[in-house]
Structure 1
Amino acid sequence: MLQQSDAGIMDEVIQREEADDKIKKEKRKLLCKFCLNEITSEDYGIAVHGAHSHTFMNPRGIVFRIGCFLNAQGCFSIGKPTAEYTWFPGYTWNHVICSNCLNHLGWYYQSGGSSFYGLILDQLTEK
């Protein structure tokens, strides 16, 4: 039978485990696989059109598996936004590159007040 002091200890153990899980999740950074620059965190992963990851083929026949992220502080967008060949109807896009090594990492999508990064998952590595 648990005594009141035992219940308090159990509550403390559960709180510590929850805090440890939160810290582990927060530490899961995604880095550019070419230069190890920190690009984003799994914490910024979002679902767009019902899923976080999507697989698309561009007009040249190249297949990309991308993940959708609300923020990607380690890259920046280049070029003029376009709606041509968009994979997300209603969104314009432009390329994003690593802010350190300048390798192509994906696309930045915008529609009105909504925006997200579609990052090529094969171009990222986990820390």
Structure 2
Amino acid sequence: MRRALLLKQLETCFSVILLFYPTVYRPGEACGAAEEERGTGTGSFVLCRACGHELAYETDIRFVPSRLALSGRNDTLLAGDRRVHVQLFENPHGLQFEVITFRKADVTKHWPADKRFSWFPGFAWTMATCPQCKTHLGWAFQPGDWPDTITHTKFEESDQTFLALITHRLLREDFASSLLMTPKSFMS
């Protein structure tokens, strides 16, 4: 009876850990496949704040200036000691978004791209969401003279494409790790 209760408590603890940090549990080959798929980036990951999905490396941040930004500032929001440029934009509905631009990120792009109301003149945009939890993370931008719908590979391989991701929907990996607590029963 006591042993069954202890096993049930351990199972609950592991379930809680897996719920709050889904990247901890990756059986053997899945771990290697995820690293190969992501490439050879360096630095800490930028995560989806809603679910913890690994979106990009900090080194994937690339500043793309826009004359349509309401304001811009340098900050250390996502890059630790490295300063990144944060731009403030307003959409036609009056909603404002602070964004950081990335060269690439693991997001789902929802084509067709729209050329109207672009914050980056000469570029068409499409929504970008988290592939795991479907949270709206920002927008993907491609040259305006491209077709409205393109392949994921063409987007990723081009030097002309970029993403503008909303700062408060992102989280640094090292900050997320600092929020995790080890249950007392696991401490020695």
Task: State yes or no: 1:126 paired with 2:157.
Answer: no
Structure 1 letter corresponding to 2:130 = C
**1:62 maps to 2:90:** no
SS in 2 for 1:55: strand
Task: Tell me, in whole angstroms, the C-alpha distance in 1 between the residues paired with 2:109 and 2:90.
Answer: 21
Q: TM-score, normalising length from structure 2? A: 0.51
Matched, 1:79 2:111: yes
What percent of counterpart residues are identical?
29
Aligned-partner residue type, residue 98 of structure 1: C
Measured in 2, the distance between the counterparts of 1:115 and 1:79 equals 14
1:41-60 to 2 correspondences below 5 Å = 41-49=57-65, 52-60=85-93
Residue 99 of structure 1 corresponds to which residue in structure 2? 131
**Count of residues in Structure 1 that have an aligned counterpart in Structure 2:** 102
What CA distance in whole angstroms lies between the structure 2 residues aligned with 1:39 and 1:27? 13
For the aligned residues, what is the CA RMSD? 1.9
Q: Which has the higher strand share?
A: 1
Is 1:33 aligned to residue 49 of structure 2? yes
In the alignment, which of 93, 117, 124 is matched to residue 163 of structure 2?
Answer: 117
- The structure carrying a bigger helix percent of its residues is 2
TM-score by length of 1: 0.74
Deviation at 1:88, TM superposition (A): 0.2
SS class of match (1:43): helix
In structure 2, runs of 5+ residues without a counterpart are: 1-40, 67-71, 73-84, 147-157, 174-188
Deviations, residues 9-44 of structure 1 (Å, cap 9, x unaligned) = xxxxxxxxxxxxxxxx93321100000001111101
Tell me the CA shift for residue 53 of structure 1: 2.3
Counterparts of 1:106 and 1:124 in 2: how far apart (Å)? 10
Instruction: Give the match's secondary structure for 1:106.
Output: strand
Give me the whole-angstrom Cα distance separating, in 2, the residues matched to 1:45 and 1:87. Answer: 18
Q: Which amino acid is the alignment partner of residue 58 of structure 1?
A: N
Determine the C-alpha separation between the residues in 2 that align with 1:71 and 1:35: 19
